[in-house]
Amino acid sequence: MNSEGSTKPPPGPPPLPLSQTENGALSMAPLSTVVNSATDSLYQDLYNLVYSDVKIVSVAKNNTATNNSGGDGNASSAEDKLNATVGAPSNPNDALLETRKAKMANLSFAQRRHELTRRIVQHTKSVAHCYALTAASLPKSHSSLQYQKLLKSSSSSPLLSPTSSNAAKIHEPPPRLGATVQVSSDALQFVKSGWISQDEAQDALYFHHDELWKARGHCHDVLGALCVLSTPNHNDNCGGGNRGGGFWPDFPTDVALAVDPYGVSKEKSYSPSELKARLASAIRRKLVLGEVGSIRNNNEGKKLTSQLPWRIVFEQGGGSIRLTHGSPRTVSTAEALRQRSAAKEEEDCEINLQQYPMEARLSVLSEDSNASWKLLSLHVRCSPKTGESDHQLGMNKKQMFDLHRIGERAMIVEEAICRKANEATKNTTTTTTSEEENAMEIDGEKSIETTSSPLIPRPLLRLFEVTHAFSLSLQLEMLSSQAEALRRGAWGGAAGVKETLGDGIAVSPAYFFDSENDVGNKSDKNNRPAPIAVMAVHFWAVCDRVGSPRVGDIICSDKDTANSEKDDSSSIIGAGPGQRRDDNFLPASDNKGKERLSLCIRAVPMVGLVVSLSGSDAENDMTSESHHLKRNADKLLSSIQNPFQLSMSDALLAATVLCAERRCHAVVDALNRTKASHLPPWIHLEVECGSITVAGRISYQHFSLKRRAPTVLFRLACDSRTGRFLPTFHRSISILRRLACNDPSTSDIQFVSNVAMASARQAKGNMFTKKVGERESTGRLVRDAFDALSRSMDTLGRKCGVGGLWNESDVLRSKSLREKSVEQSVDQTWASLITCSGIAAVFGVAGIALKVSSGVDPVIDMSGGVIFDEANANLIRVPPLSVPLSQKIVEKRVKEGDGETKTKSELQSELFAVSAKANTETLELVCFDVLMTMKSASSVPMRMKYASIKQLEGKESAELDAARPAKRVKTSSESKCQHILTEVEHATQWIDAVLGL
């Protein structure tokens, strides 16, 4: 017993139980929720005590101790109680508790009193806690109110002051509970985040510097060490009280490695040569009796239907195998060269300078027949093409470590599943065989031995599936990042502007499919394998009101593709006619490909990256096309499917080249379909390397020539970025090239006139001065004509798409509606095409011929505007091209308004002008004799009169020199057209005959 003077104060109330969230903060609830929970619990207990059953929790009795004890079982001495208390488990949770339900009326008086007392104490604590929380949450506590009353009484009575003994017993009010709880929660959250940050930092150091993993130390490691050192050693019978004999109950399971040490194993007794021989024998037995031998036996004598995707090479004298996949690349880094030099010095030449996209090394650690493969290393490599960026998507140490663990886990699970299935099959087969033998013995028949072939695991195939899926995902992410960079760069275009639709690309980023309800996990009608991810790049505008161009897979042009290995550099899946409208595997929510062509890339397990392009279907097979298409198709596939040459820019450029060729063919086919009613017989259209060649048979007025091949006038090239048609001209007809751009330097007369007009406007206060010759300048008329041709060809190209099959929105009417829309665009295109052909004949063929015949450069805008001749009703609405024949200065006397007479000088010139007559029947060059006058150097030439050249008498065309060497024709060209310079010779003969030269 303690003395009265040393009596300890009663213990304070126990602390409130606290709980934390995942991020370390305190789990908090509103005060009303706490109060309602306490009162509801009180009312529920009161109801159960009166009307329902109550839960009674008691400690299970120790029957052994009870049976061994003597005397009355209900009575026990104080010594027995003390021994029972000391021998009780230190942790209350370790005691065996039992719970039962009973009514209060069925209990004894002592039991009813115990249950009632326990519940009163429990709810008293809850009510006390609610009172404390409520008081702390009030703006003014009871103690602060008493303190204020004391201050008021002290101010009224000088005898009482705040420093008196009464006031000394009143303390300052404690801080509010809410602020305290928030500060505590923030502190706990900060500690938890610091703990996690420390773990992440140490893990990052480990993956960056592998050797630091051994020296890492966590907060819980220190806690475990303290737990072990501070726990007494219960096995110490000497009574020395030694510390450090405890245990760590929260010991991490991943630290306890269940690996037999090599020093006590039986392999320790083997010699090095015997050890190597046994290891090589175990590996070979694993291969022959495993999946490699089973594939060989199953495919023997028949066509190979399944094969191992790995290439297997023995290394380290047969002590390990090296699995490779894909085409290798040669590296010449300093580290690789150093390793190879060291290997040569050690007479070990297995170190080479080749790296594979997928590479793994395996071995076997036991001679047991059921021994599993041990994955030694696993590497997945991919890189962009030189000059491209990988956008920081290269694998880091942690990703390599996680991939290694997943691959090894897949192999272990495969072998475990097959082993369990074989054991179950073996037991079932044994039981069935015994029953059949008994039945056969009863029937007197001979017993037949029945054996079932065991299920052979395929861990190498599972390793390939995991590694290949990861490799495809990494490559697709890199290509998606490159495409997004192109969209923000030169391939972007103006965003949000309707008129520039198709000028830039749109990117559908990589979508990865996980659940079974995703689009990618559903095969289409052609039974094509479902992808695990897909991305797309959309370019060029196309009219898809009644249907969109079908997206089909691009088939490699190599003939040996079917017999080659299924690696990342080939596509073996073809397209079929049963594809749905959304045949690019993109989610329905992605509408970026609306009214556009698409380049789709999908990652298919065990196949690779499959490339699909709009218009690549059975009707547009790449393997049956020209060398130009085959080369770009191979370039497209290699830029995407070669893991070491990933380049989205090259792939997009190759795709646009293929689509340009397809669009040109579709436009030419649409124009030729209406040949009987619209196409003039003198026009010939050809497609060559993504451009449309416009050629024509030119005839000359009053000059007969033999029938010749059509002459190339100009070309309409399809722009790779926008898909629009742009006119291009041969470099020898520089006049037409500059006129199509409305270059002011092409026409000196127009240039001087524009300068004079600008000076007049500035002198008159920027007032508009109307000039007749400004609206009829040759440069503006030629530019407008070719712009109109480009617009009409663009409209026709969008409606024709890229040819091939279409995903019809209405099977019955879509095709007819599309053909009707195409015919409307064809009518507008032919009118512009006839006009531009006549312009090209005048400023191309005739321009060069005039320079050759006269020896001077032809002059533009010199003949006084457009000529309207009744005899030649179909003249092109462009001023003719002319050369001066004679010039003189004429003086005229002009009477002014004030009566004075002045003498003015004018320049009169006689010109030889050439124009063209273009209609649906012929393209004919005609010539005129024009008399022109100019009042000043800056004035617009005025035509006084003109006359058509009469029929030539006694003039016939002379035969060209057949001995002159002809221009070498391209070996890959199958064009039926002749060069423009060949037609210039005939035009020169005609001009010489007209001028009498």
Angle (CA) 51 53 54, round 5°: 115
Helix (H, G, I), strand (E, B) or coil at 694: strand
Q: pLDDT averaged over consecutive 10-residue blocks of the chain (997 residues)?
A: 50 61 74 82 84 78 43 43 43 59 81 83 80 68 58 55 44 57 75 75 66 52 66 57 59 54 75 89 90 70 62 89 91 66 55 83 87 91 82 81 91 91 80 57 46 80 94 93 90 57 80 68 60 92 84 67 38 34 74 88 91 74 69 91 92 92 90 68 88 91 78 92 91 90 82 71 55 65 92 91 82 83 85 91 92 88 83 85 88 79 85 89 89 81 82 49 50 72 88 80
Residue 112: enclosing H or E segment and its boundaries?
helix 109-137
Q: How far apart are CA 819 and CA 840, in angstroms?
A: 30
CB 986 within 8 Å of CB 700: yes
pLDDT at 895: 79
Angle (CA) 123 127 128, round 5°: 115
pLDDT at 559: 43
Q: How far apart are CA 310 and CA 323, in angstroms?
A: 6
From 609, 533, 614, select the one nearest 581 (Cα to Cα): 614
Q: Tell me which residue has tokens 């060809």.
A: 793
pLDDT at 110: 79
Q: How far apart are CA 694 and CA 668, in angstroms?
A: 10
Alpha-carbon distances, residue 282 vs 261, 275, 311, 372 (angstroms)? 20, 11, 19, 11
| CB-CB neighbours of 618 under 10 Å | 14
pLDDT at 437: 58
Q: How far apart are CA 357 and CA 325, in angstroms?
A: 6
From 833, 802, 554, 625, select the one nearest 715 (Cα to Cα): 833
Q: How far apart are CA 985 and CA 960, in angstroms?
A: 8
pLDDT at 968: 56
From 57, 58, 75, select the one nearest 66 (Cα to Cα): 75
- Please give the single-letter amino acid code of residue 231: T
From 562, 557, 537, 575, select the one nearest 634 (Cα to Cα): 557
| Burial class, 681, CB count within 10 angstroms (exposed 0-12 / middle 13-18 / buried 19+) | exposed
DSSP 745: G
Q: How far apart are CA 908 and CA 945, in angstroms?
A: 11
Residue 343: enclosing H or E segment and its boundaries?
helix 334-345
Q: How far apart are CA 329 and CA 356, in angstroms?
A: 7
Cross-strand pairs, 445: none
- Please give the single-letter amino acid code of residue 272: P
- pTM of this prediction? 0.69
| Tokens read off for 963 | 């001995």
Q: How far apart are CA 689 and CA 570, in angstroms?
A: 25
Helix (H, G, I), strand (E, B) or coil at 384: strand
CB 353 within 8 Å of CB 347: no
| CB-CB neighbours of 72 under 10 Å | 7
Alpha-carbon distances, residue 365 vs 290, 415, 491 (angstroms)? 16, 15, 55
